[in-house]
Amino acid sequence: MLLVTIPLSLLKTYTYLSYVSMAGIACALVGGFMMIGFCSDKIANGQQVPGDMKIFEIKDFFGYIGIAMFAFEGNGVVINLRAEARDKARYPAILRLAILAIIVWYMILATLAYATFKDKAGLYDYVTSNLPLNAFTIPINILFCLNALTSYPLQILCAFEIIEDLPYFQKSTDTVLIHSIKLYTERVVIILIVTAAAIFIPRFVTFLNISGSLGASALGFILPPIYYIHSKGGMSGVKKPSLALNIFMICFGVFGGLYSLYTSIRDIVEGK
C-alpha cells in the first residue's frame, strides 16, 4: 500500500490527483456493481442470511453517525477543488449532482448488503469480509482496495496544505531543494503515522466513528450553517424558515456528534 500511496501523495495539485481519483472511482463503480450482482443473486435464490430486517434504530442512527459522515470527509476539499475547477460557474450544480448520486449509490449498496447478510454484516469492519473467496468475489476486494489506494492521496492533500501553511514551510531563505525536502518528508511522516494507526488500532471502524463524530459532523452539519448565517450578517439577515433549518442542522450535528462519540467510547470500554 505504501509503495503506491506515498508517491501519489507527493503530487501537489488537485488537478493531477483528480485523474488518479477518477481511476479509483471507476474501480469502486465496477466493484460496487459486482457487489450488487452478488447480493441480488443471493436474495433471488433465497440464500441470504435468515433474520428480520430492522428498518430503523434510533440509537444506532445517532450512535454511528460519525461513520456515516466520515463517508463525506471530502467536505474538507470542496473549496480547494472549486479553486482549481475549470468552469467555476457550473461547479455548484456539479457538486450537488455528485453528492446526490453518492447518497443514492450508498443507499442501494447498504440496503442490498444488509438484506443479504443481516446482523452478520456488523461482525466485521467491512461488509466485503462477509464475501466467500472465489473467482467472482476476489476481484471485488481488489477493486475496492484499488479505490482506497487511489482516493486516499486526494483526501489527505487537504491536511498537507493546512500543515504546509505553517511558517516553518514558508521560509523565504529556503532553497527549492530544502523546501521540497521539508514538504516531502512531512508528507511521508504523516502517511506513516496514519498507516500505523490503521494497523495497530484494534477496531479501526471505532476510530473512524470517533474521527467522524468530532470532525466530519462539524464539517457537514455545524460549520456550514454557522458560516452561512455569518455571511448574511447574523441571524437578523436570514429569513425565518432558513434560520430555523440552519439552527436545526447545528443542533443535529452537535447532538449526533456527541452521541456518536459516546457510543464509540462505550464500545471501546466494553471491548466491542
Q: Which residues neighbour 229 within 8 Å (Cβ) at sequence distance 6 or greater? A: 235, 237, 238, 243, 246
Our count of domains for the chain comes to 2
Same domain, 147 and 63: yes
pLDDT of residue 272: 65
Q: Which of 200, 223, 238 represents a domain boundary (last residue)? A: 200
Same domain, 210 and 185: no
Q: Which domain holds residue 267?
A: 201-272
Same domain, 45 and 151: yes
Give pTM, 2 decimals: 0.73
Same domain, 96 and 193: yes
pLDDT of residue 74: 65
pLDDT of residue 236: 87
Distances 229 to 225, 226, 238, 251 between C-alpha atoms, Å = 6, 5, 7, 14
Q: Which of 145, 169, 200 represents a domain boundary (last residue)? A: 200
Same domain, 195 and 209: no
**Is residue 150 a contact partner of residue 20, using CB atoms and an 8 Å limit?**
yes
CA atoms within 13 A on the CB side of 9: 28
Give burial (CB, 10 Å; 0-12/13-18/19+) of 105: middle
- Positions of the chain with pLDDT lower than 50, given as ranges: none
**Helix boundaries (H) for the chain:** 2-9, 14-44, 58-63, 65-70, 78-84, 91-117, 137-163, 176-200, 204-211, 217, 223-231, 240-269
pLDDT of residue 219: 79
Q: Which of 148, 174, 200 represents a domain boundary (last residue)? A: 200
